[in-house]
Chains A and B, each alone.
Chain A
Amino acid sequence: MTQGVEVVGLYVRDQDEALAFYVEKLGFRVHTDVRNGAYRWLTVQHPEQPSFQLGLFTPGPPMLDAATAETLRAAVAKGAMPPLVMVVDDCRAAYERFRASGVEFIQEPVDRYGTVDAGFRDPSGNGWKMIEARRRSN
């Protein structure tokens, strides 16, 4: 693949906390972690998806003024950011694994339309849906 989406960013309240969550609890890997003064470009990757990076950014200067950053921090904390979806082979197994490592689930696995889904949040408030990939055979 030479063209496509490479990075999509999330706003988080604290990059160290987000890094610990995505790497230690969800099993992502750090792709880039570079500082330029107070600014920190931090991206992580799903271990099975090397062509895509999830950016973990804090809203603030120099990109944003203080009031705008405050508004965004509030929106994240209220769970108002758009939904994120992670596909897994086995939703119940992933649920047990993540829950044991301390992930805050907001919905236990539920069977729906021949698949299973669950929901969790990252420490900042970003909501994830975890959906079991549909079996190819049906």
Chain B
Amino acid sequence: MSADRTSQDPELLRRLLRAKDRMDAASHEEWPVRRLARVSGVSQAHFARSFKQAFGLPPHRYLLTRRVERAKTLLRETELPVTDIAFQTGWRSLGTFGRTFRDVTGESPGAIRERERAGASDPGRVPHCVLSAAQRPDLTIAVSEKRRQAEGGINGSEETEVP
């Protein structure tokens, strides 16, 4: 077994999970690596590398999936204006929210709201958190890469901007 393929220490993983849990509990907050590393009790450089190895995506991208998931829930279940949802879920501008949301989900916030309402089904007896996690976007590639792929396909007219 080569050195970089060795499995991670479960004690470290448990502490990384704590950082992930904290992002889950407050995804609207800012989570710089410094803050996350402190939760896990490891150095910043070690944290970023270890988190990605443990959970398959970098911490900032994980946070993005949680914010989009939460925005989708609010779009579906509340009458809040999209602007309010953008700020409540942690974005600093409506433009960035709309763009990132579309890049991640492939649809605009408004379109998702309409579609989800049209096909609304009773969540019944599935615990809400489980249901919500099951609808989390699967962001296995960077948003910028996802955007590039989409643009390559449809020769998009979107303005280019770094998130």
Residues in A lying within 8 Å of B, measured CB to CB: 13, 70-71, 73-74, 76-79, 83, 85, 104, 106-108, 112-113, 117, 119, 121, 124-125, 129, 131
- In the complex, the answer to whether A107 meets B8 with C-beta atoms within 8 Å is no
15 A/B residue pairs, CB under 8 Å, sorted by A: A71-B7, A73-B10, A74-B8, A74-B10, A77-B11, A78-B54, A78-B55, A85-B127, A104-B18, A106-B21, A107-B24, A121-B17, A124-B14, A125-B17, A131-B127
- In the complex, the answer to whether B127 meets A77 with C-beta atoms within 8 Å is no
CB distance from B100 to the nearest CB of A (A): 24
- In the complex, the answer to whether B130 meets A83 with C-beta atoms within 8 Å is yes
Nearest 6 pairs of A and B residues by beta carbon: A77-B13, A77-B10, A106-B21, A77-B14, A73-B10, A79-B17
C-alpha spacing A118/B7, complex, angstroms? 32
Q: Considering the complex, which residues of chain B in the window 117-153 have a beta carbon less than 8 Å from any beta carbon of chain A?
A: 123, 127-130
Residues in B lying within 8 Å of A, measured CB to CB: 7-8, 10-11, 13-14, 16-18, 20-21, 24-25, 54-55, 123, 127-130
C-alpha spacing A77/B14, complex, angstroms? 5
- In the complex, the answer to whether A113 meets B7 with C-beta atoms within 8 Å is no
Additional A-B contact list (8), CB under 8 Å, known A77-B14, A129-B127: A73-B10, A74-B8, A83-B127, A85-B127, A104-B18, A117-B128, A121-B21, A125-B13
CB distance from A94 to the nearest CB of B (A): 16
C-alpha spacing A76/B128, complex, angstroms? 22
Query: Whose C-beta in chain A lies nearest to the C-beta of B10?
Result: A77
Q: Which residues of A contact B54 (CB under 8 A)?
A: 78
C-alpha spacing A40/B11, complex, angstroms? 22
The number of inter-chain residue pairs (CB within 8 angstroms) is 52
- In the complex, the answer to whether B127 meets A74 with C-beta atoms within 8 Å is no
Q: Which residues of B contact A129 (CB under 8 A)?
A: 127, 129-130
Query: Whose C-beta in chain B lies nearest to the C-beta of A70?
Result: B7
A119 contact from B10, B14, B123, B129, Cβ within 8 A: B129
C-alpha spacing A29/B14, complex, angstroms? 26
CB distance from A75 to the nearest CB of B (A): 9
Q: Which residues of A contact B10 (CB under 8 A)?
A: 13, 73-74, 76-77
C-alpha spacing A125/B20, complex, angstroms? 12
Query: Whose C-beta in chain B lies nearest to the C-beta of A108?
Result: B25
